[in-house]
Structure 1
Amino acid sequence: MRRYLASLWTALSTLLNALLGGEAPETLSYRAAKARRSGKRWGCLLCRLLDAFDRDHCDRTLRWWEQ
């Protein structure tokens, strides 16, 4: 069940990112991590929120996408 919920969350994140004008294969957290790295305020805020629920989420997302 945990794996199913994780897959569902990833799909929703990808959809939300596409609806907000991001690249279709990317998740919202990856887009936020790239924005944070570029110094954009919204990326910093969203990563801080995500990191509150899942420690180092944005950093791990960057490593996963860019390996």
Structure 2
Amino acid sequence: MLKRYLLNILSALDRLANAITFGSGDETISSRLGKAHAKGSRFACVFCRFLDLFQKDHCKLSINPDDGANATVPD
């Protein structure tokens, strides 16, 4: 129960951080980075490689194509 609680809090903070950086509040930073990486963004490539240290293909696995439409600044 505590583990699920902490994961929910971390997910909410992740989405908040994405919204603060002009992304959509319903998308995680990892999904946003995964989409940018697929488009060839060097910035996203660096961060996705870092996240790969924790989970292989994390950004790629995190992509949710239905999220991100409400971004303040579209990617």
Larger Rg: 2
**SS of 2:5 mapped into structure 1:** helix
Q: Quick one: distance in 1 between partners of 2:4 and 2:49?
A: 24
Structure 1 residue aligned with 2:21:
20
Q: Does 1:42 align with 2:43?
A: yes
Structure 2 residue aligned with 1:29:
30
Matched pairs, number: 65
**SS of 2:53 mapped into structure 1:** helix
Structure 1 residue aligned with 2:65:
66
2:56 aligned partner, one-letter code: R
Using the aligned pairs only, state the percent identity: 40
Q: Quick one: distance in 2 between partners of 1:30 and 1:53?
A: 15
Name stretches of at least 5 consecutive residues in structure 2 with no aligned partner. 67-75
| Greater helix proportion | 1
Deviating beyond 6 angstroms after TM superposition, the runs of 4 or more aligned structure 1 residues are none
2:65 aligned partner, one-letter code: E
Name stretches of at least 5 consecutive residues in structure 1 with no aligned partner. none
2:27 aligned partner, one-letter code: E
Please, what TM-score do these two structures have when normalized by structure 1?
0.84
Please, what TM-score do these two structures have when normalized by structure 2?
0.76
Q: Quick one: distance in 1 between partners of 2:51 and 2:4?
A: 19
Q: Which has the higher contact order (CA 8 A, sep 6+)?
A: 2
